[in-house]
Amino acid sequence: MYSVIRNYTGAPTLADDLKKRTTDIEKEIGSVPGFISYHLIKTNSGAAAITTCQNQTGCDESTKRAANWLRTNLPNLKIGTPTIITGEVAITFTGEKIKV
């Protein structure tokens, strides 16, 4: 299992803008082969997206799709290239299921 973190800065309203498009993002990222989960974190300077897939190929594909989706659907967005961290998941556990 692999995860990728894409940290977007310079757009403080990005998380709010993306939250409004949750269904569209779920369709785009959720259809990546081997997709497991997606989380969006609202930060002071933008947003961080965490995608987990069965393998690195899925994480790479999710990053490509995210970039294309942002270019196509938020063309006026003024952000630089996100900082990307990717790697094999070493530990994972979950607790009570909660709805955000």
How does pLDDT run across 23-57, given as a tens digit for each residue? 999 999 999 999 999 999 999 999 999 999 999 99
- 2-88 CATH fold: Alpha-Beta Plaits (3.30.70)
The beta strand positions in 1-100, using DSSP E, are 2-9, 35-43, 46-53, 83-88
Parallel/antiparallel/unpaired status of strands 46-53 and 83-88 = unpaired
Closest C-alpha among 82, 89, 54 to residue 66 = 82
pLDDT higher than threshold 90 for residue 85:
yes
Instruction: Say what the pTM is.
Output: 0.90
The contacts found for 65-71 with CB under 8 angstroms, 24 or more apart, are 65/28, 65/29, 65/32, 66/6, 66/28, 66/29, 69/24, 69/25, 69/28, 69/29
In the chain, where the domains are located: 2-88
